[in-house]
Amino acid sequence: MNTNYNQNLGPEQWAKLKRIKHVAFDMDGTIYMGSHLFPFTIGMLEDLEKNGIGYSFLTNNPTKSVSDYLKKLAGMGVQANKENMYTTSLAAIDYIKATYPQAKRLFMLGTPSMASQFEKAGFKSCSDDPDDIPDALVVAFDPTLQYSRLCRAAWWAAQGIPYIATNPDKVCPTNEKTVLVDCGSLQKCIEHATGRQPDIVLGKPDPTMLDGIMNRHGLQADEIIMTGDRIYTDTAMAHNAGAVGVLVLSGETTLETALKVEEEARNNPAPKFFPPDFIMRDIRELGDLLIESHRK
């Protein structure tokens, strides 16, 4: 891992960048902060396109459908299409279709926008009714959560039906004076009430989303970068998928924290977190180095 803002990359590092055909971006803290797009984001994306490097946006937040996320990006000036977007909702849809091809009826803890994504994919939403029996349970981050629906989700978990969680996050980041209880905390609530854990927890750091992007674009693991501002989700997913992990310092993680993770990895054969392959100031630096590597 290079920790000197990439001023002295070695031949192996340049070769690693030169193989890259696609960049997967975390969103908040990576291409924007809150509702403010970083000033370098649009220019960096344009430069990738000019140099034949594809890109996708990933998010652990399933509250919005792909259409709603694309509207949010467009409102910031980022022009993207559905092929550029991969969310934990899409990962759950792909997982259910592959693992439970007969499943059509779902009981979901999730926003109406999320439910619309599943319905668009051919699933039917089950009501809060013990006679409306689902084929599978999907639990997600749900700011619209109703207590009765949480209880119904626990009931279906207790009945042993397939149980998929969209992401592991305990809380959703916010600058407001509140705690946004996220999907991981809902899972713990259901577990405490029933003893049942999800059959699978999707979202970063699980590699399923990155696998989905690689399958969508026909990529090998060493041809894709996962870049984000969190070691424990973004670059952890890159490691789990065998892809290249880039940590940017434009969001949550500081250089000091990243260096501590690197030191622990040197001294511990089984570290809690694996260090990223590269540390970058921001995605502008990543774009500049990628383009330079492809010209070498």
Q: Is the pLDDT of residue 39 over 50?
A: yes
pLDDT average, residue stretch 290-294? 95
15 pLDDT band, cuts 50/70/90, is: very high
SS (H, E, C) 107-119: EEECCHHHHHHHH
Whether residue 244 contacts residue 238, with contact meaning beta carbons closer than 8 Å, is answered with yes
* Neighbouring residues of 229: CB distance < 8 A, sequence distance ≥ 6: 26, 29, 30, 247, 248, 249, 250, 251, 252, 253
Q: ω into residue 205 within 30 of 0, thus cis? A: yes
Question: What is the percent of the chain where pLDDT is above 70?
Answer: 97
Q: Is the pLDDT of residue 123 over 90?
A: yes
Whether residue 82 contacts residue 66, with contact meaning beta carbons closer than 8 Å, is answered with yes
pLDDT average, residue stretch 155-165? 98
Q: Which two three-digit tokens encode residue 234? A: 């973004």
pLDDT average, residue stretch 54-71? 93
34 pLDDT band, cuts 50/70/90, is: confident
Mean pLDDT of the chain: 93
pLDDT average, residue stretch 182-202? 97
Q: Specify the pLDDT at position 6.
A: 58
Residue pointed to by tokens 């891992």? 1
Q: Which element (helix H / strand E) includes 215?
A: helix 208-217
Distance, in Å, from the CA atom of 229 to the CA atom of 270, rounded to the nearest integer, reads 22
Q: Specify the pLDDT at position 174.
A: 72
Q: Specify the pLDDT at position 3.
A: 46
Q: Is the pLDDT of residue 198 over 70?
A: yes
Q: Specify the pLDDT at position 138.
A: 98
Most confident range, picked from 141-155, 172-186, 259-273? 141-155
Q: Is the pLDDT of residue 264 over 60?
A: yes
Most confident range, picked from 6-10, 132-136, 255-259, 260-264? 132-136
The end-to-end CA distance of the chain, in Å, is 21
